[in-house]
Amino acid sequence: MSDVSSLLSARAVRERAHQLLALGLDDKLPHFRVDLGKLDAIADLVLDVTNKAYPSGEVPFHSRWRHFVVGGTDRWTAVAEKTQWLDAAARARAEFDLAITSVLLDAGAGASWRYQDAVTGTRIGRSEGLALASLDMFARGAFSADGRDPLRADAAKLRQLTVADLERGFQVGPDNPLVGLEGRVALLRRLGEVTAAKPEIFGTQDAPRTGGLFDHLAASATGGHLQAADILQQVLLQLGPIWPSRLTLQGVALGDCWRHPSLVADDQTTGLVPLHKLSQWLSYSLIEPLQRARLVVDNIDGLTGLAEYRNGGLFVDGGVLVLRDPADATRPHEVDSPLVVEWRALTVALLDRLAALIRERTGQTPEQLPLARILEGGTWAAGRKLAFARRPDGTPPLTIISDGTVF
């Protein structure tokens, strides 16, 4: 693997995040001080939130599938159980179609957007609202090129999506604005283009569709087993070109990878910090469809924690990460700013530290309590709880200017 392509991996995310944390612990980072003494209290909060949400101790993975449970009803399962699937692979393709499109539509909605659920009549915001809106669009066939088979995300249809399509599907209007609307549409259109251009990946069993990635992964399994990190690598390799033009090196699009002056390497990747937040969350979300199709996913902790504002906010609001300049909390920051890159990378490394602390307290192994369960239990919910305790509207502690494709 070349120096450049090595950045398209969970291993690189973890190694470089811990490299920045080590500098932080030596008080050598430009924007944050690190106070590990506050990590115990965060572990207490995460365990408390987890135990209340999952009193049985059976914590599912942090993935898109959790957001499809609304009012105690699993909306996707209700759709899937009424569908006559040809075989397990057919359902898995549809679930890949849904997971990929829904995750790509999930970047932060903004504080004011809400989706009115036709079933319960409630207005739902943030990730849960985005999930339900995307599921409703998918179930109506909004991404399908075949009127007889709505549960698809076909390359041909994705390429034709318009802003108006998403405005209708997400109930967007002057009094219900959605952050990054154009960016989301552009992302799905590029998804259609990439899917169409790679029939050898996405069209081996069907017309080119995003769910064809299931067949590609299944074909690469060894004895029915896949490594979680290999799922991410394929997501990055096959879907990497969909991301807006950001950093490229030797013609390789690096995706959610940014520059930070404190990250030093002895090759051309010096200064580069990969995070791959949406791609990793998507990889977590593809594990359950693979498992339902009777494939075994090993070493789930080969993936990392997610560098997003709920996990990151947990450490800022919890006092582990302290801004050197308090005024930075009052002004917006571009997503590629060293401050935001530093915050996100420290979040990834601190999630590993926090996971070790929680496993020590509960007497569980990484296999029994993988990071994916700690995130779900867990850190994301605890980050949201602290945000609402600190700020009435629950916004994150830092304001990020995003195009709707990172957070």
Poorest-pLDDT segment among 145-154, 246-255, 329-338, 350-359? 246-255
Does 297 have pLDDT greater than 70?
A: yes
268 assigned to some structural domain: yes
Which residues are CB-contacts of 341 (< 8 A; sequence separation ≥ 6)?
258, 259, 260, 273, 275
DSSP 276: -
CA 386, CA 61: separation in Å to the nearest integer? 22
Confidence (pLDDT) at 403: 59
CA 208, CA 352: separation in Å to the nearest integer? 38
Q: State the alpha helices, DSSP H only, in 88-180.
A: 88-104, 126-139, 155-158, 163-169
Task: Please report, rounded to a whole number, the percentage of residues in the chain having pLDDT higher than 70.
Answer: 97
Does 91 have pLDDT greater than 90?
A: yes
pLDDT classification of 2: cutoffs 50, 70, 90: low
Phi, psi of 325 (to 5 degrees): -110, 105
Q: SS3 for the chain, per residue?
A: CCCCHHHCCHHHHHHHHHHHHHHHHCCCCCCEEECHHHHHHHHHHHHHHHHHHCCCCCCCCCCHHHHHEECCEEHHHHHHHCCCCCCHHHHHHHHHHHHHHHHHCCCCCCCCCEEECCCCCCEEEHHHHHHHHHHHHHHCCCCCCCCCCCCCCEHHHHCCCCHHHHHHHCCCECCECCCCHHHHHHHHHHHHHHHHHCHHHHCCCCCCECCHHHHHHHHHCECCEEEHHHHHHHHHHHHHHHCCCCCEECCEECCCEEECCCCCCCCCCCCEEECCHHHHHHHHHHHHHHHHCCCEEECHHHCCCCCCHHHHHHHHHCCCEEECCHHHHCCEEECCCHHHHHHHHHHHHHHHHHHHHHHHHHCCCCCCCCHHHHHHHHHHHHHHHHHHHHCCCCCCCCEEECCCCCC
24 assigned to some structural domain: yes
Confidence (pLDDT) at 245: 64
For residue 214, what are the CA distances in angstroms to 185, 238, 402? Answer: 23, 12, 30
Does 112 have pLDDT greater than 90?
A: no
Range(s) of the domain holding residue 80: 5-401
Poorest-pLDDT segment among 96-110, 194-208, 364-378? 96-110
Nearest to 109 by CA among 88, 144, 82, 134: 134
Poorest-pLDDT segment among 16-20, 178-182, 262-266? 178-182
406 assigned to some structural domain: no
Poorest-pLDDT segment among 90-104, 173-187, 299-313? 173-187
Specify the residue for token string 């990929």. 100
Read off the tokens for 103: 């995750």
What's the rounded mean pLDDT across residues 145-153? 95
Confidence (pLDDT) at 5: 84
What's the rounded mean pLDDT across residues 60-72? 90
Rg, Å, the chain Cα set = 20
Does 407 have pLDDT greater than 60?
A: no
Query: Is the four-CA dihedral 288, 217, 269, 108 of positive or negative sign?
Result: negative
For residues 192 and 161, the answer to whether their CB atoms sit within 8 Å is: yes
CA trace torsion 326, 331, 332, 335 (10° rounding): -30
Helix (H, G, I), strand (E, B) or coil at 136: helix
**How many CA atoms within 13 Å lie on the side-chain side of 53?**
20
72: left (phi over 0), alpha (psi -120 to 50) or beta: left
Read off the tokens for 108: 């932060």
Confidence (pLDDT) at 100: 96
192 assigned to some structural domain: yes
Confidence (pLDDT) at 128: 87
Poorest-pLDDT segment among 245-254, 280-289, 378-387? 245-254
pLDDT classification of 303: cutoffs 50, 70, 90: very high
Rounded mean pLDDT of the chain? 93
Q: How many residues appear in the chain?
A: 407
> Tell me: the pLDDT tens digits for 181-217?
888 898 899 999 999 999 999 999 999 999 999 999 9
86 assigned to some structural domain: yes
44 assigned to some structural domain: yes
Read off the tokens for 375: 């995130």
> Tell me: the pLDDT tens digits for 390-400?
999 888 999 99
pTM above 0.75, yes or no: yes
Confidence (pLDDT) at 404: 57
265 assigned to some structural domain: yes
12 assigned to some structural domain: yes
How many domains, in total, are found in the chain?
A: 1
